[in-house]
Amino acid sequence: EPEVTQTPSHQVTQMGQEVILRCVPISNHLYFYWYRQILGQKVEFLVSFYNNEISEKSEIFDDQFSVERPDGSNFTLKIRSTKLEDSAMYFCASSEDSQQSAEQFFGPGTRLTVL
């Protein structure tokens, strides 16, 4: 069964460093998403992406975040200058279409630890 994959599973970085989290969405999906979940807290929407541009973004997704689809398979989230409060699990998701009802398939997540 096709699945979303994410690498690395765990990333440790120093405060102020840049990190890139990678995702490979399901191959025939066209819509991509990033979420984060701080330990013990709610899942929070960050951004959605379609046709090489951002469709929607939340108030969390400020200038230190960016997303890119550098090739036909990868979808990345970059955090330019990490802060302690960026420590969280980051989930990538993809869906086949943009309908509001479209089921989003989540990847296993990357745990980011900022020291």
Residues binding other proteins (CB under 8 A)? 33, 35, 41-45, 56-58, 91, 100-101, 103-109
> Looking at beta carbons only, is 12 or 43 nearer to other proteins?
43
Report CA torsion sign: 9, 114, 67, 30.
positive
Cβ 28 to other proteins shortest distance, Å: 17
> Looking at beta carbons only, is 27 or 42 nearer to other proteins?
42
Question: CA-CA distance, 46 to 92, in Å (whole number)?
Answer: 10
Cβ 81 to other proteins shortest distance, Å: 24
> Looking at beta carbons only, is 39 or 72 nearer to other proteins?
39
Write the burial class of residue 53 (CB in 10 Å: 0-12 exposed, 13-18 middle, 19+ buried).
Answer: exposed
What order do you get walking across the sheet with 65-68 strand by strand? 5-7, 19-24, 75-79, 65-68
Cβ 115 to other proteins shortest distance, Å: 21
> Looking at beta carbons only, is 7 or 81 nearer to other proteins?
7
Cβ 73 to other proteins shortest distance, Å: 19
Q: Which residues contact 80 (CB under 8 A, 6 or more apart)?
A: 18, 63, 64, 65, 66
